[in-house]
């Protein structure tokens, strides 16, 4: 009888955890629709062009901060960005000119495809994101990027931090364990979900297996 109860408990535990895992996958999918990214692509990977990229970045963040840092919704940020495309392009052009370069500037706002990437302690799954993309010259150099909504770009700016993660991560978002964090807005930009589904599942399976061994 006790073995049957333990077996039933094990089945229920696994089902519950698998449901949590399914919800976690849905959460990963949902966040792509709740994020706006800013990317600045350098003309090339030369030291000079990379330095120029960062100067363009700094000026764009400085000028857009008063407009965007207190945005309460993705719709508000989207509207502000769309209304200021020409201004953002002008800002970038001015920096390039001041640095003695004649590079063209292209500013695009729309959907862009990205691989899974780690952003500080956050993991952003692969897929399409709304993106403000500023391309300097030929745009063949590494890009700098940050999350414009929720306004993490400006949080980092206020603390003297610049997220500049270039590597692509081969991560199965359904199996992110340990202390990897997943950003969820849900009308609350500060809410962070700790993804520990796999860890919990493994612990439960180990615990129940041990209990069976003790009872047998």
pLDDT tens for each residue of 134-153: 999 999 999 999 999 988 88
Q: Which of 166, 184, 128, 119 is nearest to 147 (CA)?
A: 119
pLDDT of residue 156: 61
Domain annotation covers residue 211: no
Q: Does position 180 have pLDDT exceeding 50, yes or no?
A: no
In total, how many domains does the chain have?
1
Q: Which residues contact 19 (CB under 8 A, 6 or more apart)?
A: none
Domain annotation covers residue 44: yes
Q: How distant, in Å, are the alpha carbons of 57, 60, 117, 136, 189 from that of 95? A: 10, 10, 29, 11, 31
Domain annotation covers residue 180: no
The residue range of the domain holding 156 is 35-173
pTM of the model: 0.65
């Amino acid at each position: 009888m006790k073995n049957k109860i333990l077996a039933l408990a094990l089945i229920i535990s696994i089902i519950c955890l698998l449901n949590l895992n399914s919800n976690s996958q849905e959460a990963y999918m949902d966040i792509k629709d709740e994020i706006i990214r800013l990317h600045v692509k350098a003309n090339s990977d030369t030291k000079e062009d990379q330095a120029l990229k960062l100067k363009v970045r700094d000026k764009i963040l400085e000028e857009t901060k008063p407009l965007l840092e207190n945005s309460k919704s993705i719709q508000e940020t989207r509207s502000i960005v769309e209304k200021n495309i020409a201004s953002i392009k002008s800002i970038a052009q001015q920096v390039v000119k001041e640095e003695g370069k004649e590079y063209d500037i292209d500013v695009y706002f729309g959907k862009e495809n990205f691989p899974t990437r780690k952003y500080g302690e956050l993991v952003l799954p692969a897929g399409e994101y709304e993106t403000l993309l500023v391309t300097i010259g030929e745009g063949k150099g590494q890009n700098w990027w940050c999350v414009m909504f929720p306004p993490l770009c400006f949080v980092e700016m206020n603390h003297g931090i610049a997220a500049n993660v270039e590597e692509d991560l081969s991560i199965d978002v359904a199996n992110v364990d340990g202390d990897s964090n997943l950003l969820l807005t849900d009308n609350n930009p500060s809410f962070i979900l700790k993804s520990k589904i796999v860890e919990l599942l493994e612990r439960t399976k180990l615990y129940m297996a041990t209990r069976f061994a003790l009872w047998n």
